[in-house]
């Protein structure tokens, strides 16, 4: 691949900074960075692999910030990390062999359902409630499923995790966001390893974008820690709506 112009790197860093900020609060950073990476000439597998490299820095930064502020306990998520890692590994291997077009048609419908639910549930995630599933069962089902999805496709991963943590494990929205980032980091780092094995990572670009991710994720996670649930809910709904619009455009209009 031809070397990129200097101004292109500035664009990539800016995109990663915004993505890191958005991702640390509500997920969805990939809908910013993947199209930008593809727009500068990276083929799809290389864009996906490079995206995982830079995204891992952001999800790691946000995770550490949340753990330090006691919004999540790392020991309490070990089962989730294990199952998510397995799911992400299988999903990332599979995406390098199969076409993801069918998910582009299904996922917008799922996200629309989430958006409508949130619209009519103004107190969503306001307070912690009773868990509806045993932790090991929850992580086995959703770790494998969402981990696979993140490795295979990606958009909306953070939204699915947050909804699952609030509705099924009874976490409030702040804690659910924190736990989501730990799961995101797990699937990012595992997917990255598989992409590296397949030769689909542009290290120079990914590491330069990591600088933007670090800054954006730190600012975003700090806002989650200091702001109330209402702010997170509004931001979360906004990102879900943008993700829906992006997927519908990519799947049904652009093609």
3-class SS letters over 180-219: HHHHHHHHHHHHHHHHHHCCCCCHHHHHHHHHHHHHHHHH
In whole angstroms, give the CA distance from residue 215 to residue 61.
Answer: 9
What's the pLDDT at 107? Answer: 83
Residues in the chain: 255
Q: Return the minimum-mean-pLDDT range out of 79-88, 92-101, 127-136, 163-172.
A: 92-101
- Confirm if 206 and 80 have CB atoms less than 8 A apart: no
Token couple for 30? 């990939």
pLDDT tens-digit readout, 128-173: 999 999 999 999 999 999 999 999 888 889 999 999 999 999 999 9
What's the pLDDT at 1? Answer: 63
Q: Which residue has the higher pLDDT, 1 or 213?
A: 213
Classify residue 17: in a domain, yes or no: yes
What's the pLDDT at 12? Answer: 96
Report the percent of the chain where pLDDT is more than 90.
70
In whole angstroms, give the CA distance from residue 23 to residue 10.
Answer: 20
Classify residue 145: in a domain, yes or no: yes
**Residue 124: other Cβ atoms inside 10 A:** 20
Confidence of residue 228 (pLDDT cuts 50, 70, 90): confident
Q: What is the mean pLDDT of residues 56-77?
A: 96
Q: Is 67 helix (H, G, I), strand (E, B) or coil?
A: helix
Alpha carbon dihedral 219, 205, 157, 103, in 10-degree steps, equals 150
In whole angstroms, give the CA distance from residue 155 to residue 35.
Answer: 12
Classify residue 78: in a domain, yes or no: yes
With 80 as the cut, is the pLDDT of residue 97 above it? no
Q: Which residue has the higher pLDDT, 167 or 28?
A: 167
With 80 as the cut, is the pLDDT of residue 99 above it? no
Classify residue 1: in a domain, yes or no: no
Classify residue 214: in a domain, yes or no: yes
Classify residue 125: in a domain, yes or no: yes
With 70 as the cut, is the pLDDT of residue 2 above it? no
What's the pLDDT at 136? Answer: 97
Structural domain boundaries enclosing 97: 6-253
Q: Which residue has the higher pLDDT, 152 or 2?
A: 152
Secondary structure of the chain: what % helix, strand, coil (to 5)? Answer: 80, 0, 20
Which of 17-31, 110-124, 176-190, 228-242 is predicted most confidently? 176-190
Classify residue 191: in a domain, yes or no: yes
Classify residue 65: in a domain, yes or no: yes
With 80 as the cut, is the pLDDT of residue 102 above it? no
With 80 as the cut, is the pLDDT of residue 252 above it? no
Stated pTM of the model: 0.91
**Residue 117: other Cβ atoms inside 10 A:** 12
Measuring CA to CA, how many Å separate 156 from each of 111, 136, 201? 7, 23, 22
Q: Count up the domains in the chain and report the number.
A: 1
What's the pLDDT at 196? Answer: 95
């Amino acid at each position: 691949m031809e070397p990129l112009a200097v101004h292109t790197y500035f664009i990539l860093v800016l995109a990663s900074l915004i993505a890191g900020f958005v991702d640390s609060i509500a997920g969805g950073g990939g809908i910013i960075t993947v199209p930008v990476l593809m727009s500068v000439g990276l083929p799809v597998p290389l864009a996906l692999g490079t995206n995982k490299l830079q995204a891992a820095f952001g999800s790691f930064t946000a995770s550490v910030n949340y753990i330090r502020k006691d919004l999540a306990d790392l020991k309490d998520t070990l089962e989730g990390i294990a199952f998510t890692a397995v799911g992400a590994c299988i999903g990332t291997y599979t995406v390098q062999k199969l076409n993801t077009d069918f998910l582009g048609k299904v996922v917008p419908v799922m996200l629309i359902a989430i958006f409508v639910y949130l619209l009519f549930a103004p107190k969503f995630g306001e307070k912690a409630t009773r868990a509806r599933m045993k932790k090991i069962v929850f992580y086995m089902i959703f770790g494998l499923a969402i981990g696979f999805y993140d490795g295979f496709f990606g958009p909306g991963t953070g939204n699915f995790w947050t909804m699952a943590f609030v509705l099924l494990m009874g976490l409030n929205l702040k804690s659910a966001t924190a736990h989501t980032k730990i799961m995101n980091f797990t699937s990012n780092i595992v997917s990255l390893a598989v992409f590296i094995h397949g030769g689909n990572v542009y290290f120079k670009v990914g590491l330069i974008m990591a600088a933007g991710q670090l800054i954006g994720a730190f600012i975003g996670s700090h806002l989650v820690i200091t702001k109330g649930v209402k702010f997170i809910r509004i931001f979360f709904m906004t990102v879900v709506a943008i993700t829906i619009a992006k997927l519908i455009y990519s799947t049904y209009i652009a093609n």
